[in-house]
Amino acid sequence: MTQAATYVELCTRLSRFVQLQPSTELTKELHQVMEDLLKLYERLELSLRPEKAAIDTPLVGLAAMDDLVLYSLHRLLGSFVRSSRSLVLQELSFGVFIRVLRRCKPRMVRGSSGQVQRHLGFVQSCVLYLPPPPEATADTDEKSPDAVTLAAQPEELRLAILQSLWELLKEPEPEKQAMQLRVDEQHFLAYLVASLLHVAQRDRCREAALRSIEVLKCVFLFVRDSHTLRQYLPGVAAGLWKSANAPQQASNVIVAALQCFSLALGLCISDRLLPEEERPKQQQRFTLEGIRQSISTNAMEREDTAASVEERSPDDDKWMETTAINMDVLLSRMFAASASATAFTTHGTKTGLPRSSWRVRCALAQLCGTVMLQCRRGLRMSFFRCYDELLVLRGDAIPEVSREAEKVLQALQTSSLSSEERLQVLPEMADRFQMLLSTLVLKVATEHEATKVHFVRTLRGYVEFLGSSLTPYLDASVESIYTSLCRVLSFAALDIELVSHHSLPSSTKVNESYNSSAARVVVAQFQKRLRFFREEASVCEALAMVSEIGAVLTPAGFIDCAFTLLSDANVMSTEAGGEVVLVLNEFLRAYCPDKNSKVHLNHHVIDVHLIGRILEDLLMLKAWEEHSPLPPNSASCKALVSQRAFMVECVGVCAEILGTEFKVFLLHVLYPLVEQLGSHSVEVERAALVALEKVYFFTGYESLEALFQANMDYFVDALCARLEQLDAYPMTAFVVDALIKHTRLASLPLVDEVTTSLLRSVDLYQDSSHVGGLLCALKNLLGSIARDAQEMEGGRVQTLGDGELGKPATARSLLSDFVHEMKVLENDGMEIKSEGGNEEKQPDLEETDRESVKAAMPLEHDDIRSDNQDGDLDDDDDEEKPAGSGYRTLVIDIIDRCGYFLVESDPIACCLVLSLIHEGVRFLSRYRKQLLPLVARMWPELLPRLRVQNRTIVTGTVRVITTVAAVAGDFVGDRFVESVWPILRSQLQSICFDSDAKSPQLTRSMLLLLQPPMDASRGVDAQLSGPRTDTETPQDDELSSVHGVRKTHEVHQLLAILSCLTMACQQSETMTQLVPEITRSCCKYLSSSAPREVVEQTSELFAALAQLNGDEVFCSVAALAHWLPPPPPSASFPTYEADVVEHFYAKRLSGLSGQTKTCRGNARVLMDRLFR
């Protein structure tokens, strides 16, 4: 009761101000009354409990006071408060008005027109305090003194005004009948709508803008009269669009504007407001009863139509037509702004303006749903525009957005469209699809990638939603669609610097039929670069669109179209063949069993016959051939390479479609694929490797080697036949090269046939341009043989028992080896039994007879004799043969053929031959009796190669001599002294590394790429600390040199010569006579300004020289190190003159003037290593 008394007192005090004029004292007093009322309402709200009854006696008594306060505030807002111009008082007044309005609202029932007028009077009291819109003051030049602006009015006051309006206009009932308003009331509501739109557009306070749009929605729900609301719709639509499109607008304001616009369309242009004749008719039943009902219904409809014609004016039709055009323009701008604001990024994320928020996209989906479900006939021209936007939103990454769009589309497909509308809409959708594709073709060259991606997503939405319903329409225009897609997927290049890895799906059929756990196979492909789509995600979107279109097309139709375009002569000349095959591959990819696509395949499938037709037509195309008359660097040649790569990829896609059924085509496609595997272009080679991996995986083989081994007889027959016809099949040698690279061809039983055919082709085409490819194949074959023999040797060592491991190896002395080698040479390479020794076997009579017969046979007897009838080693006959003894004859034949090409003028061919000889000599190092005659035959042709000007050839020749010296010993020693050393000495004299030499400087890339981390850090420390002085002692016995120097041809040649000299000194004692000359010639390479590899190799050479003649090496190294000998311990020689040592060193270093200081530090290290 105390609160009621206080409330009565405050009401009395408040009502006193209704008749008074504002002054300073009265304003302060009213201000205090307003504050007391606010405090009272707060106490009343705290005292109320939810568990109390809805009707209470004290509350019933307070209701009259609430009405009195509401009426008094209504009068005060129109007079005293407005005239006082006190912003604080206005804010307090609206705060009290909101509180009392909430208390009175349940009793404010707007049933009669008088109650509506009273309600609008309250609204008018609040609207007067809002800033007037520009339209209201446009006709008058003078501004009203009471008018306020957004900048002058506080945001808190404006929020209180908008909150009051929202409380007044909010409808408690979910549904309400339309309200008939007078003209003046309509004008007042128009002013209210304009004021709210002005606040929504111009107010910087986002909360005020949001609240004004919410109030605007309440105004539309308050009126609900379509004729009245249609007067406001054009201005409301434009104002809401301006509010949503304002710079840096908040997403919640944009969402509210879109929802308000959707509500306005539903209340103004809904299909339920249209006349009856524009609504769809019910489906007619063709029965006797149905005909009777249709006749009676038509008669009644004619009467209703005649009555409604008079009521309907032509202005309504004109307004509807104009509004439909304006709304279509507005919707197009909305969707275009939403597409341009959404920036497409890599992982599906969206960045850009605030309208790219997922809530904004949900609001767009709801707006499209309103247009398509409620206003489909009134806004007929906007139907497909909204349908396109919904299809894009249906594929959104946010589940809420895609779910909202899917809900609208499902409602449209299931219940909204009648059968007549479906028959009418489907052809229009097909035409719309082709129109969008044509538009994409025209706009694909623009720079804005988001616009192109928007079109691509729209097309994907059409295909995903309509599915096979589009098949007859798309099949009818498959040629134009194919050419348009070729334009969209204009190919730029295969990025060989970026490799993408894809996992092949495990096929259950393969696992069940072969009972093998199919391991996960990962294939590496080069990334495709399109001309008009630069982002990786954009490329994926475009390719996915083509694949989904292929899923609804008839396979036979697009296959015929593809090969018709490929066989056209104009296509071959315009370099569009690559795009044609690319589109075909994406079409076919839609029919792969593992394809995770939202598009359900039509009833057509690609069977074995269609795949056979594709493969047959592919292999018949001229682009499949490697050689073409075009220049290698021309654009046409590059386009043909890309087309060939896509054609090879098509074979892999066909294997992926058929799976194990692809086995029927193995004999037709295996050799062409392997032929492309040996292509000169890395794009085609990679595509062929991926295609072969798919073939073996989907046909059930365990590996690529298993596929080749199972079909090796077919390969060998084809290879041997084509190796003899290289003019017709110039890529055959590279096919062998590719087989060796990717398989263990040397371990297969038919390798001897391939080798024989290769050698025969070398004999036939030794003077042609095909010799380079043949030598490459021989080189890789020899490397594969050596690798296989090494693996066999390693496996055999692992299986040896303890007794075999403990068996001592028989070793001869150097003299015994020399005598044995001379006897082998004297007997033309035939095996000679060692004399003497208790451990060696004595030859019996049968062995003597066999040796005598062997001596009467020609030299080739040893080469053709089987490996199980002679001993391959020079040791005892009962020793086990080497693991690679089966390849001995093949390797000997290869090296014999290589001897013909040692005089080849082509540097590449000559280097290949030298590499072959190097690898072959290393392999034959265990077969000395066959190796020595072979070396003797090659030696006369090998020496002239040392005198050529090409450093690469000289380096390769020196490496071959090094390998021969390592396995032949003194056999090369004599020849080395007589013929090799003079040539090498002249070359060493021309190579010098001093401080003035122009050598490449240290760069950061050298430190990062050419050195291990420890070496790089040491090199940086050496550069920072500077060169060592003469008095410095190397730490931890380390040689000083220049780190990180790039190896030039000169450095490679020098390293090869030093390595050759080291090996010759280690293997032959005949090099002893050359120790002084070699020491004097190589002293300068101990310089600290030389590269690290040169200094290390020189130190190894001096170590080998010290083993032959340590005294000579000691004198030279001591002179370089400026070593002073200690005084003699004898009393007869108590001292000696230092000048004598200096004079002796000066004679020793007469040829190294100016270089002794740089060599001194390393010479001291050698003194410590070799002579202490």
- Kindly report, residue by residue over 741-794, the tens digit of the pLDDT: 777 765 566 777 888 888 888 888 877 778 778 888 888 888 888 887 777 766
Close Cβ partners of 198 (under 8 Å, ≥ 6 residues apart): 131, 132, 133, 134
**19 and 163 both lie in a single domain:** yes
Question: Is pTM beyond 0.85 here?
Answer: no
Residue 1048: half-sphere exposure toward Cβ, Cα within 13 Å: 10
Give residue 350's pLDDT.
42
**118 and 199 both lie in a single domain:** yes
∠ CA 939-942-947, rounded to 5°:
135
Q: Which residue has the tokens 């294939």?
A: 523
Here the tokens at position 260 are 């308000």
Interatomic CA distance for residues 259 and 264, integer angstroms = 9
Tell me 83's DSSP state.
H
Interatomic CA distance for residues 984 and 414, integer angstroms = 92
Percentage of the chain beyond pLDDT 70 is: 73
Closest CA to 911 of 787, 1048, 779, 786: 779
Q: Answer with the residue of higher pLDDT: 670 or 1150.
A: 670
Q: 445, exposed or middle or buried, with CB in 10 Å at 0-12, 13-18, 19+?
A: exposed
**186 and 59 both lie in a single domain:** yes
Q: Answer with the residue of higher pLDDT: 1037 or 461.
A: 461
∠ CA 543-549-553, rounded to 5°:
140
Interatomic CA distance for residues 177 and 190, integer angstroms = 20
Position 854 in a domain: yes
Checking if the pLDDT of 1114 tops 70, the result is yes
Task: Out of 1-10, 609-618, 826-835, 967-976, give the one with best mean pLDDT.
Answer: 609-618
**961 and 1018 both lie in a single domain:** no
Checking if the pLDDT of 1115 tops 70, the result is yes
Give residue 1151's pLDDT.
61
Position 173 in a domain: yes
Q: Of 124-133, 209-218, 396-405, 1137-1146, which gets the smallest average pLDDT?
A: 1137-1146
Closest CA to 896 of 1027, 1026, 783, 762: 762
Close Cβ partners of 458 (under 8 Å, ≥ 6 residues apart): 388, 391, 392, 436
Contact (Cβ atoms closer than 8 angstroms) between residue 566 and residue 558: no
Checking if the pLDDT of 866 tops 50, the result is no
Among the three residues 912, 946, 968, which one is the final residue of a domain in this structure? 968
For 193-251, how does the pLDDT look when each residue is reduced to its tens digit (9 = 90+)?
999 999 999 888 889 999 999 999 999 988 888 888 888 999 999 999 999 888 888 88
CA distances from 703 to 501, 744, 789, 1135 (A): 18, 12, 22, 81
Contact (Cβ atoms closer than 8 angstroms) between residue 672 and residue 512: no
Position 135 in a domain: yes
DSSP secondary structure string for all residues of 474-511: HHHTHHHHHHHHHHHT-EEEEEEEEEEEEEEPPPHHHH
Q: Of 163-167, 656-660, 756-760, 1014-1018, which gets the smallest average pLDDT?
A: 1014-1018
**53 and 198 both lie in a single domain:** yes
Q: Of 121-130, 479-488, 860-869, which gets the smallest average pLDDT?
A: 860-869
For the chain, how many structural domains are there in total? 4
For 559-571, how does the pLDDT look when each residue is reduced to its tens digit (9 = 90+)?
999 999 988 754 5
Position 92 in a domain: yes
With helix as H, strand as E and coil as C, how does 47-70 read?
A: HCCCCCCCCCHHHHHHHHHHHHHH
Give the structural domain span for 1089. Answer: 1007-1170
Interatomic CA distance for residues 694 and 687, integer angstroms = 11
Among the three residues 186, 217, 242, which one is the final residue of a domain in this structure? 242
Position 413 in a domain: no
Give residue 1032's pLDDT.
39
**936 and 1014 both lie in a single domain:** no
For 426-470, how does the pLDDT look when each residue is reduced to its tens digit (9 = 90+)?
888 889 999 999 999 999 988 888 889 889 999 998 898 888 888
Interatomic CA distance for residues 1171 and 1114, integer angstroms = 8
**54 and 200 both lie in a single domain:** yes
**954 and 1039 both lie in a single domain:** no
∠ CA 777-778-783, rounded to 5°:
100
Interatomic CA distance for residues 794 and 798, integer angstroms = 6
For 91-119, how does the pLDDT look when each residue is reduced to its tens digit (9 = 90+)?
888 888 888 888 887 777 666 667 778 88
What is the mean predicted confidence (pLDDT) over 378-397? 87
∠ CA 635-639-643, rounded to 5°:
175
Position 351 in a domain: no
Strands 342-344 and 491-504: unpaired
Phi-psi region at 933: left, alpha or beta (left = phi > 0; alpha = psi -120 to 50): alpha
Q: Which residue has the tokens 């002058």?
A: 152
Among the three residues 211, 242, 273, which one is the final residue of a domain in this structure? 242
The backbone torsions φ and ψ at residue 527, rounded to the nearest 5 degrees and listed phi first, read -75, 135
Position 312 in a domain: no
Task: Out of 121-130, 177-186, 901-910, give the one with best mean pLDDT.
Answer: 121-130
Q: Of 80-84, 613-617, 904-908, which gets the smallest average pLDDT?
A: 904-908
**962 and 1027 both lie in a single domain:** no
**944 and 1022 both lie in a single domain:** no
pLDDT range class, residue 61, cuts 50, 70, 90: low
Give residue 860's pLDDT.
40
pLDDT range class, residue 336, cuts 50, 70, 90: confident
Position 1019 in a domain: yes
H helix runs in 342-398, sequence order: 358-369, 383-394
Checking if the pLDDT of 328 tops 50, the result is yes
pLDDT range class, residue 648, cuts 50, 70, 90: very high
**894 and 787 both lie in a single domain:** no
**963 and 1023 both lie in a single domain:** no
Average pLDDT, the chain: 77
Residue 876: half-sphere exposure toward Cβ, Cα within 13 Å: 13
